[in-house]
Amino acid sequence: MLELQLGLTLASNSMQGFDLNCCAGYEPKEVVGLNPLINKAMHQLSPSFSSRSDNGNQVDNKKRSFDDAFENNRAVPRTLPLLLWNNQPHEDDDPKDFYSHPSFAINQNNGDSVVGWPPIKSSRKKHCHQNNRSVENECGYGVIRSSSNYMFVKVKMEGVAIARKIDLTLHHSFLTLKSTLINMFGTCQEDSNCYKLTYQDSEGDWLLAEDIPWRSFVRSVQRLKLLRSTALLI
């Protein structure tokens, strides 16, 4: 749960003629006396940053002390934060949770695209589609085989929202392929045994990748999926 410490709101009267265009719309009023808790929290901020940077010296010199930040900087108003930044690591900061959260709202679209990405206006998007309609891929799915040296295939890992793509021409065995994929999704190699590599063939069927020779696999693969072993009925 959120631990909130509400600081004092200093008397900053709204300016007459509130200026919407000026980013420094508030003139700081005289500071009567700051809550010592706030003071302490602010001081905690500076040392914690320097420990994070490799170029420790350079970054430190740029960091403003609390006084510099709040006395001379007109742009930051004196209203105090609703939550004190205490910079303690929290469990809910774990980035992995973010991606497996059920509400992580990415429109899957059969895993083909993310809503509004890449950021292109609709008028332009319409134009792209019209142009590329003539580029029919022979296999009808997600793979474009060309005379150039690429063969990109979509890969999904169970439990991960965003798909990746991998160039199969860079691989010659299931071992290297699987190892690279595990790396791509940020899982450690020890866990790779927990995942099975499956693929969708040109007929739309999902099969276990390691069951056929590499060459046949490359000729018929349309897309890949890494499934957790427990999910398979084998």
- Residue 233 C-beta: closest distance to another protein, Å: 30
- Residue 230 C-beta: closest distance to another protein, Å: 26
Q: From 228, 113, 232, 94, select the one nearest 165 (Cα to Cα).
A: 113
CB closer to another protein out of 104 and 206: 104
Query: Helix (H, G, I), strand (E, B), or coil: what is residue 103?
Result: coil
Q: From 196, 179, 197, select the one nearest 188 (Cα to Cα).
A: 179
8 Å CB contact between 174 and 210: yes
CB closer to another protein out of 165 and 228: 165
- Residue 75 C-beta: closest distance to another protein, Å: 5
- Residue 217 C-beta: closest distance to another protein, Å: 18
CB neighbourhood size of 214 (10 A):
16
**CA–CA separation, 198 vs 126, rounded Å?**
34
CB closer to another protein out of 124 and 215: 124
8 Å CB contact between 226 and 181: yes
Query: Helix (H, G, I), strand (E, B), or coil: what is residue 37?
Result: helix
CB closer to another protein out of 90 and 215: 90
